[in-house]
Structure 1
Amino acid sequence: MQIQVPFALPNLPDEYGINQPADELIDGINLRSFPFTVTDLPKAAVTVAFSLIDHDTIPVVGFSWIHWLGANLPVTAGQVVVSDNASQT
């Protein structure tokens, strides 16, 4: 299994971090989730479940930030595409 993001790691682009205008933050936190694609799945895979937990946020917010959890995402053409801000929908 491979996970691909449309930006250079290790840093998130500003639109997914805390460097947003104050009116786009909730209690100082950006809730916009970043997009990613999961590929190289087993041929028999029908759905995928995942968790994205960011332990680097401990110094910022005081705990590991759960970006989002997903379950029963359908595998289509051998991959799962999670779009920009999918955690809000």
Structure 2
Amino acid sequence: MKINVALKNGFIPDEYSKFATTKISEQPVVSFPIQLEILPQDTKALAISLIDYDAVLRTGFPFIHWLAADIPVTNEIPADFSRNFEGPQGKNSWYSRFYSLNNDYVINHYAGPVPPDKPHDYTLTVYALSNLTGLANGFFYNEFLDTINNKILAQQAIKLRAKN
């Protein structure tokens, strides 16, 4: 399995990150396109996670930016998929009690990279699954991992850098 995200000068393009013009509660909400190749033949669904491990130095924990499951099998997850997908998406780290963002929409969809101090690397992982997860909207990361655990046919992770 192979995944690719088109970068601009080595960074996630501005329209999907801190410098986006489409924002809700000051968070970028237009997800970037993801190209997929060489999916296992028996793939029944896809799942994705986008996590900022560089955030640990500022927050004390990795920052979850996006979780989605039960994505139909495809070779391209298009731009703005998160706002158009009717399947299950999980809670990102804006849900944390350490933040005061009180917007259910932003908390349960793609909330793009907004590194505050320096460029950050974001880990995008795409999972090819043998079956649907059955997760409901608003699931948590631990539920996501537990549910996909025995369904993973293949997974691929790449690092994507975002400007501060």
For the aligned pair, the TM-score class normalised by the smaller chain equals 0.5 to 0.7
Mark the CA change 1:71 to 1:57 in structure 2 (over 3 Å): closer, same or farther.
same
Identity within the alignment, %: 35
Question: Structure 2 regions of 5+ residues with no counterpart?
Answer: 85-164
- Cα RMSD of the aligned pairs, angstroms, is 2.8
Conservation of the 8 A alpha-carbon contact between 1:55 and 1:63: yes
TM-score by length of 1: 0.68
- Off by >4 Å, runs of 4+ in structure 1: 57-63
Counterpart residue number, 2:3: 3
TM-score by length of 2: 0.41
Mark the CA change 1:82 to 1:6 in structure 2 (over 3 Å): closer, same or farther.
same
- The separation in 2 between residues aligned to 1:57 and 1:2, in whole angstroms, is 26
2:51 to 33, 53, 64: 53
Question: Structure 1 regions of 5+ residues with no counterpart?
Answer: none
Counterpart residue number, 1:68: 66
Matched residue count = 84
Deviation readout 1:54-87 (Å, 9 max, x if unpaired): 2345578886443322212222xxx432111111
Counterpart residue number, 1:83: 78
